[in-house]
Amino acid sequence: MKILLILISTLLTVSGAKRVNAIEAQPTASGVHFHHVHLNVADPTATIAFYKKFFGANGVRYRGLSDGLFTEKSFILLTKVAKAPPIGLGTSLWHIGWAGVDGPSEFAWRTKEGIGVQTPVTPFGSDYYMYFWGPDREVVEIWTASKNHRFEHVHLLASNLKSTLSWFQENLGIMPFLSATEDVSGVATNYLRLDNVSISVMERPASGKPRPSWWPVEADGTFPRTDGTVIDHIAFSFSDIKPVFQRMQQAGVVIVHPIAKSPEYGLTSFFVRGPDGLLVEVVEEVPVPEGIWQARP
């Protein structure tokens, strides 16, 4: 069955006005779904209040065990840490993002309410982007091309775009959305689309080549691991993860943690090392709307 029409994030070149408009997300043949973004936070209560207030996320008690957030068809899960985690700018997991409608008004009401600003509202073609600081200095974008207020994207940076796309295709069965690389302000770009989420993947420009004004200056060296930073990892789900684990193991993917059940979240999963230091969790779970945050035997 066809899934909801939504717009892809981070789409335009400032000159040339090239845009990918409404796209129709189809279930992947491999049965993979986007499950969650995982944050390390000093104060879970403050983080939940922040995302509820500024981005319309819903607070949930995941499986009756852990407080988190629900965003359209996926989750933001939280791990409480003793002190503020490293910001993580400079890793391959740059930021998470929501859609917006009217850039200047989106910016005005949030700043009036006291949100921290990383990058002010900025025109980009006929749309706007802006970056805000989360409670633990995670970067959160609003991008107005989609004209809604849904959780919309995760933004990855890559030392080699082709290699990153191949990793996701070979190991998780997620095909690149575009058949050919797109140029976004001089940056080679493609997308991974599943469920309600667009994963934007941008290749770091070669040394000596100009960077667009929005490129994070911290991301010019070797990408460090995302583990332990505020945006710790992203997670995908399958109804049965054992074949996925075996396939990755046989392919030589680095297994960070083997299959185990988490007492904190009540889910069964394993962790692998993705491209450019990205930590990836693979969860055994059924997709929304089947109530996957509820407690189970």
* pLDDT tens per residue, range 128-161: 999 999 999 999 999 999 999 999 999 999 999 9
- Residue 159's SS3 state is coil
- Residue 220: the pLDDT is 81
Looking at the predicted structure, is the pLDDT value of residue 14 above 60?
no
204/202 Cα distance (integer angstroms): 6
Per-residue pLDDT for 12 more than 70? no
Confidence of residue 287 (pLDDT cuts 50, 70, 90): confident
Does residue 5 carry a pLDDT above 50? no
Q: What is the mean pLDDT of residues 31-40?
A: 96
In the predicted model, what is the mean pLDDT of residues 279-286? Answer: 95
Residue 211's pLDDT is what? 87
Q: What is the pLDDT of residue 29?
A: 46
Q: Is 151 exposed, middle or buried (0-12, 13-18, 19+ CB in 10 A)?
A: buried
Q: Say yes or no to pLDDT of 8 above 80.
A: no
What is the residue-wise DSSP string for 49-80? HHHHHHH--EEEEETTTEEEEEETTEEEEEEE
**Residue 297 confidence class, pLDDT cut points 50, 70, 90:** low
User: Is 70 exceeded by the pLDDT of residue 126?
Assistant: yes
Q: Could you give the percent of the chain with pLDDT greater than 90?
A: 76
For residue 257, pLDDT beyond 80: yes
**pLDDT at residue number 286:** 83
**CATH number of 5-284: 3.30.70.890, 3.40.640.10, 3.90.226.10, 3.10.180.10?**
3.10.180.10
Highest mean pLDDT among 216-230, 259-273, 276-290: 259-273
- What average pLDDT does this structure show over 113-130? 96
The tens digit of pLDDT for each residue in 47-80 reads: 999 999 999 999 999 999 999 999 988 999 999 9
CB 23 within 8 Å of CB 5:
yes
Instruction: Label residue 228 left, alpha or beta by phi (over 0 means left) and psi (-120 to 50 means alpha).
Output: left
Q: Residue 117's Cα: distance from chain center in Å?
A: 20
Over residues 191-205, the mean pLDDT reads 94
User: Which DSSP string do the residues of 86-107 spell out, in sequence order?
Assistant: P--BTBSEEEEEEE-S-HHHHH
